[in-house]
Amino acid sequence: MDGISGAGTPARSDPSTRGTLVIAERAIEKVASNAASKVPGVTGPSGGFLGLGARHSDTARPKADVRLNGLIASLRLEVGITYPAPLRQTSELLRQRVREEVARICGLDVRQVDIDIDTLADLTRSQGRRELA
């Protein structure tokens, strides 16, 4: 009956005959990056060319890299943290949120989340402008 039953609804098939789902590493990186960007005080790189002249922006997403071993993931994040946020607490919250979101959306066991804090961004200062007294 070609996988269709009765009134146009798909027939239930044996799970072993459904095939597999492959999630690209790039998709996992985007999920991790998006989750990281939602953590208060975490920023991502913005602008620049080949890494030169880049600065951090609270609207840019952090960079994420993933290494997979079956259904086990190891992540590396490159982030900026807004100054004067507490680094240890922000890092722990970042690890927790990224681990939970990648597990929830991608169905992976995230065993390791390495965080490279490459910038302490002071977003309260004006960008290249000074107030004259």
**55-92: per-residue pLDDT in tens?**
555 567 899 999 999 999 999 999 999 888 899 999 99
pLDDT at 125: 58
Q: Can you give the pTM of this predicted structure?
A: 0.71
Instruction: Calculate the alpha carbon distances from 12 to 22, 88, 120, 121 in Å.
Output: 22, 49, 53, 53
Crossing angle for the helix pair 25-37 and 87-106, nearest 10 degrees? 140
- The closest of 81, 80, 76 to 95, measured between CA atoms, is 76
- List the Cα angle 83/41/77 in 5-degree steps: 105
Question: Tens of pLDDT along the chain (133 residues)?
Answer: 445 445 555 556 776 777 777 788 999 999 999 999 999 999 887 655 555 445 555 567 899 999 999 999 999 999 999 888 899 999 999 999 999 999 999 999 999 999 999 888 775 654 555 455 5
pLDDT at 120: 85
d(CA 49, CA 130): 26
For the chain, what is the total number of helices (H) and then of strands (E)?
A: 2, 7
Cis peptide bond upstream of 84, omega within 30: yes
pLDDT at 1: 45
Cβ(111)–Cβ(72) under 8 Å?
A: yes
